[in-house]
A and B are shown apart, each in its own frame.
Chain A
Amino acid sequence: MFAMIIPAFIVGGVICVIGQLLMDLTKPAVTPAHVLVIFVTGGAILGALGLYEPLIKIGGAGASIPLSGFGYSLSKGAMEAVGKRGIIGAFSGGVEATAVGIASAVFFGYLMSVAFKPKG
């Protein structure tokens, strides 16, 4: 149950530090929204180059929980689907591989936005 927790902590921590430096060193040009876009795009490109897979192996959730892991799943899904279905796979694979994440973000996001009132 507690396997891989330390590597996840370290790899996840380091990835978040990169995001923090990105924001602090470019203030105020890079907002949290920019950070998320940069990480998802960066993860997708690193995944395509085969450079993100080792991070997942070493860090487990430390690499899959940051948004760069979402980007990695997108491009990995697209490449795997190309192998099965050709060019159509390039369009279907990314969303297919991340469908659970996208759908649960929309569903739970909507649910909580309606259920709770903002503070202040």
Chain B
Amino acid sequence: MDNQSLRKPTLAVSPENYKILAQQYTPKPTIVKNVIRAFAVGGIICAIGQVIINFFVSIGLTRVEASTAATATMIFLGALLTGLGIYDEIGKFGGAGSIVPVTGFSNSIVSPAMEFRREGYVLGVGAKLFTVAGPVLVYGIATSIVVGVIYFLIH
């Protein structure tokens, strides 16, 4: 094998120029776009939550009960839309706007559990339900206990 017959590359770009060129063709950080989308999607999800709270208040629940019931309803909707494959589409568009609301928590429970069902109902579904929910509950509950103990000590 003789490489002499190959022509020399005609590319006349120095390493410095290459850096500049590469930068030109690298997509710009899309932070502004992401922020606007997160605001819109997160805002809409919370507005839907508010409509559900208002509905529960209108049928006679107290404000706290209505808020709890609305959270449960949103968890149900998030799980259902994840199962139907719709929530992942919302997530691609909305970023954190679809992660931070409780529907995103619901999505983080259903998504891995559904994916790992072939590993069985105990170590697949049962265990993977808590891939993200586990850490959330660990840190959330632990923080609440620390808060409660401190509150007990200073009162």
Contacts and interface: CB of A to CB of B under 8 A. Distances in A.
Given A11-B46, A12-B46, A17-B42, A110 B34 contact: no
Nearest to B135: A37
Contact of A94 (B43, B136, B148): B148
A9 B43 CA distance: 4
Contacts of B72: 100-101, 104
Interface residues of A, number: 82
B147 interface: yes
B25 interface: no
A18 to B, nearest CB: 8
B140 A86 contact: no
21 contacts: A2-B51, A2-B54, A5-B50, A8-B43, A8-B47, A9-B47, A13-B40, A17-B35, A20-B95, A59-B46, A61-B46, A65-B45, A65-B103, A66-B100, A93-B148, A94-B147, A100-B69, A102-B137, A108-B79, A108-B80, A113-B125
Interface of B: 29, 31, 34-35, 37-47, 49-55, 58, 67-72, 74-76, 79-80, 82-85, 88, 95-97, 99-106, 108-111, 113-115, 117, 121, 125-126, 129, 131-133, 135-137, 139-141, 143-145, 147-152, 155
